[in-house]
Amino acid sequence: MVKRSFVWFFVLSLCFQALFVPAVSAAYYEDVQGHWAQREIEELSNVNVYRLKYGNFYPDNPMARGEALVLLNRVLESVYGPLGVAKSNSHIDHRYSYKQETEQLAANMHVMLNVQTGFVNSFDPGDSMLYYLHLSERGGMKQPQKKNGDWWLSDEYLHKPLTREEASMILFHVLAPYKMRTSNFRVDEVEPYFSGYYQWKQDRKYVDTDSPYAAAIADFNLFVSEKTFEPNKQMTRAQFAVVLKRLYDFCKNDAPKQFHDTAAKQKAITNLFLTAADRAYQQRDQEQIDQFFSRSAQRTLEEIAPLPLHDYAGNLTLNKDENHPNRLWAKGSYQHPLTGSYQVTYMLEPASSNHYGWQVTKIEYQQK
């Protein structure tokens, strides 16, 4: 009896300790413990940017070009959600394992540019980014006199190490919509804006490179560089993880702030939010739907499905609720080739289910 009582006392003691002693989080990777980039690597793993969460990370190995593109897309989607519909790109080697995710990055970037400028642009920043990555080992990432339409990115090329200059060029294309939103661009000014960088007509910032891309993204503080940039230096996986974490933090903090900025920025971020919500609705992605729509709004979605919902090219107007200061009404007028004209009114309220900080709580659908 005494022995049995002791065993029960020991078990209860362990349970008591489990309640009050903080649990030690499981290590994701064996080779990042104590590494200077451990925090950034593990935090990006927590938001599913890095999908393989055991074994070795190889933090001091070179970062591959193709993997860098895929990780950038995961950072964008972890904050904003999927935005565009990926299209097959014949310039990317079909043997490349992450071809679809690279194509998804290009699709998301195109939507970001369209929403921030307010136009449906024929210029495709994602495809252009891939083209200039192709040029990197062919005389540098400058605009050539004549574009070769047969260019492509081989599987071998995408597995080669990423340089700091290549990283800055890729990040410039990702961040260009953020830089452009402070100006009122016309649709015919969008492509020349990028061409100004492709022709290297922008002012330099660093003494060791004339490349405009590093200077273009300097304000985002993704690289800690004062006078020199070391453009030809290869990036390690750990170094790129730190850059990714800084980008993630910027996007995560920026998205909710835009809802309290100028009317133009409020409209753009609401458009982006509804675009992501529509993508979840079209894909029947329940996890994403739960993030963007309340339960009552989801019941309305079930009633109107499979009718179209939001289209970022439509006419969107915003109004604050006079009786509820934390409530926002968005009304979209759209045109669809199958259903014709229709209008959707969305009631948005604050929520913590996504990084935008809002959720659709009511939907009113009207066919014109």
pLDDT in tens, 112-158: 999 999 999 999 999 999 999 999 998 889 998 888 889 999 999 99
pLDDT over 80 at 26, yes or no: no
How many CB atoms are closer than 10 A to CB 67?
18
Q: What's the pLDDT at 18? A: 32
| Weakest mean pLDDT among 76-90, 197-211, 272-286, 343-357 | 197-211
Note whether residue 310 is domain-resident: yes
- Structural domain total, the chain: 2
Q: What's the pLDDT at 11? A: 36
Each as own residue / partner, the long-range contacts of residues 85-93 (CB below 8 Å, 24 or more positions apart, any chain) are: 89/127, 89/130, 90/152, 91/127, 91/130, 91/131, 91/134, 91/151, 91/152, 91/153, 92/130, 92/152, 92/153, 92/158, 93/152, 93/153, 93/154, 93/155, 93/157, 93/158
Same domain, 294 and 324: yes
Same domain, 149 and 294: no
Q: Quick one: which of 354, 264, 358 has its CA closest to 81?
A: 354
In tens, the pLDDT along 327-345 reads: 999 999 999 999 999 999 9
Handedness of CA 312, 318, 321, 326 (dihedral sign): positive
Same domain, 229 and 268: no
Same domain, 254 and 316: no
User: Within 13 Å of residue 357, how many CA atoms lie on the same side as its CB?
Assistant: 15
Note whether residue 160 is domain-resident: yes
First to last CA, the chain: 81
pLDDT over 50 at 22, yes or no: no
CA angle 12, 14, 15 (to 5 degrees): 65
Contacts of 300 (CB under 8 A, 6+ apart): 362, 363, 365
Supply the range of the domain harboring residue 192. 38-52+61-258
Note whether residue 2 is domain-resident: no
Q: Quick one: which of 190, 224, 191 has its CA closest to 116?
A: 190
Are 189 and 122 in contact, with CB atoms under 8 Å apart? no
Same domain, 234 and 104: yes
- Determine the average pLDDT of the residues in 71-96: 97
Report residue 267 as tokens.
């409209």
| pLDDT, mean over the chain | 91
Same domain, 312 and 239: no
pLDDT over 90 at 159, yes or no: yes
Note whether residue 3 is domain-resident: no
What is the residue whose two structure tokens read 């990714």? Answer: 244
- The reported pTM is 0.91
Among 219, 235, 258, the domain-final residue is 258
Same domain, 304 and 233: no
CA 348 to chain CA centroid, Å, is 22
Q: What's the pLDDT at 27? A: 52
CA angle 163, 165, 168 (to 5 degrees): 115
pLDDT over 80 at 25, yes or no: no
What is the Cα–Cα distance from 89 to 74, expressed in whole angstroms?
19
Same domain, 247 and 353: no
